[in-house]
Amino acid sequence: MVPFVFIAIIITNIVMIMFNLTKTMDVDIWNYWQPLFIASALYLTTGKMVIAVASAVINMAIIFKLADWTQKDVEEVLGLEGISLPALQTTGWAVLGYPMNWLLDHIPGINKINWNTENVQKRLGIFGEPMMMGLIIGMALSAVAGMPIADILTTGVTIAASLVLIPRMVSLLMDGLIVISEAAQEFMSKRFEGREIYIGLDAALGIGHPFVLSLGLIMIPITLVLAFILPGNKVMPLADLTALPFYMIFAILPSKGNLFRGIITGVVIATITLYISGIAAPIMTSIAADIGYQIPGGATEITSLAVGTQWYSWIVYYVLSLVA
């Protein structure tokens, strides 16, 4: 599937740019795995390569448009100038995040609550600093998990360090990527004179912001609680919990960093993700078996939160599977 999907996505991107259907030039080849997974699932269930490749084209065409639509906020709030985030599991949630923010903005009382980084730091003083928040959240999570005192302290310090160091690491990465981005924009401007072109990069650049990291950490225990209380849920999240900041960027970005609204939208995103991950489990398990993955003992099926976050791509999956 890999060469067919990769070539199809690249051609789709080029054609859309040529006909002014998108401003995003996607160089984030690593995240082509996201439409590739859905394409693989379709090929597994239908046996038709054309249908499978078509799903990748449709999914990425949608995400290119969403990346264009959200780029100004990515630039203004996250400080990523001239960069868009064409990742299914991240920017796909903009379709939910912006309407949720609009709804919360029109609920009396709720619309007055604003837990942004500045307000939190002002009210909590030193305890509102990202480092202290990381220490407190890390120690609280590990204490609930029943870890020994030494591990509780180590976890708290580790997460505190992450909230300080990751933004700085991303900043250093951005220094290098800006050079690449400017060179790519210069290359494109010569061929598309007068056109505004965004460079599509990995959503990892977005998780360096303190409010994105904070929301991701807070959503870890919330997602675990949801896994236990949601009726009909059969997914126990584990490894993917560390990736929650990726999924939560557009839970908090529409409100410009309002942590209160981010949590509310994050709960909705986590709920949908858990249910979709459960629905996708049989397909995920079949693909894993095909490549010889050893299913853990005692587990009947496996899945991934990342698969659940690609929400609209499953609509494409089911529509094309009916066509096939």
Lowest-confidence pick of 24-38, 122-136, 246-260: 122-136
What pLDDT is stored for residue 125 in this prediction?
63
- Beta-sheet strand order (sheet of 24-26): 24-26, 198-200, 83-84
- Percent of the chain whose pLDDT exceeds 90: 52
Q: Residue 24 forms beta bridges with which residues?
A: 198
SS3 241: helix
Higher pLDDT, 239 or 2: 2
Q: At residue 128, does pLDDT exceed 80?
A: no
Q: Which amino acid is at 75?
A: E
Asked if residues 280 and 294 have their Cβ atoms less than 8 Å apart, the reply is: no
Q: At residue 53, does pLDDT exceed 90?
A: yes
Model confidence pLDDT, tens digit, residues 69-127: 999 999 999 888 888 999 999 999 999 999 999 999 999 999 999 887 666 556 656 66
Q: How many residues does the chain have?
A: 324
Token digits for 99? 């309407």
* Mean pLDDT across the chain: 87
What pLDDT is stored for residue 170 in this prediction?
65
Higher pLDDT, 195 or 61: 61
Q: At residue 223, does pLDDT exceed 60?
A: yes
Nearest CA among 51, 42, 57 for reference residue 7:
57
**Spatial distance between the Cα atoms of 97 and 262, rounded to a whole number of angstroms:** 9
Token digits for 7? 């070539």
Asked if residues 67 and 59 have their Cβ atoms less than 8 Å apart, the reply is: no
Q: Which amino acid is at 302?
A: I
Question: In the chain, at which residue ranges do the beta strands (DSSP E only) sit?
Answer: 24-26, 83-84, 198-200
**Spatial distance between the Cα atoms of 222 and 316, rounded to a whole number of angstroms:** 29
Q: At residue 247, does pLDDT exceed 70?
A: yes
What pLDDT is stored for residue 129 in this prediction?
67
What pLDDT is stored for residue 59 in this prediction?
97
Q: At residue 18, does pLDDT exceed 60?
A: yes
Mean pLDDT value across residues 194-213: 84
pLDDT tier at 68, thresholds 50, 70, 90:
very high
**Spatial distance between the Cα atoms of 77 and 191, rounded to a whole number of angstroms:** 30
Asked if residues 41 and 320 have their Cβ atoms less than 8 Å apart, the reply is: no
What pLDDT is stored for residue 124 in this prediction?
58
Number of C-beta neighbours around residue 1 at 10 A: 16
Higher pLDDT, 280 or 179: 280
Distant-in-sequence, close-in-space partners of 205: CB < 8 Å, separation ≥ 6 = 78, 80, 83, 85, 170, 173, 174, 177
Mean pLDDT value across residues 242-249: 88
Q: At residue 317, does pLDDT exceed 90?
A: yes
Q: At residue 198, does pLDDT exceed 80?
A: yes
Nearest CA among 162, 298, 318, 158 for reference residue 236:
298
**Spatial distance between the Cα atoms of 179 and 104, rounded to a whole number of angstroms:** 39
**Spatial distance between the Cα atoms of 301 and 298, rounded to a whole number of angstroms:** 9
Number of C-beta neighbours around residue 257 at 10 A: 24
The backbone torsions φ and ψ at residue 25, rounded to the nearest 5 degrees and listed phi first, read -100, 105
Mean pLDDT value across residues 8-12: 96
Number of C-beta neighbours around residue 220 at 10 A: 17
What's the pTM value of the predicted model, to 2 decimals?
Answer: 0.84
pLDDT tier at 191, thresholds 50, 70, 90:
confident
**Spatial distance between the Cα atoms of 205 and 104, rounded to a whole number of angstroms:** 27
Token digits for 67? 């990346």
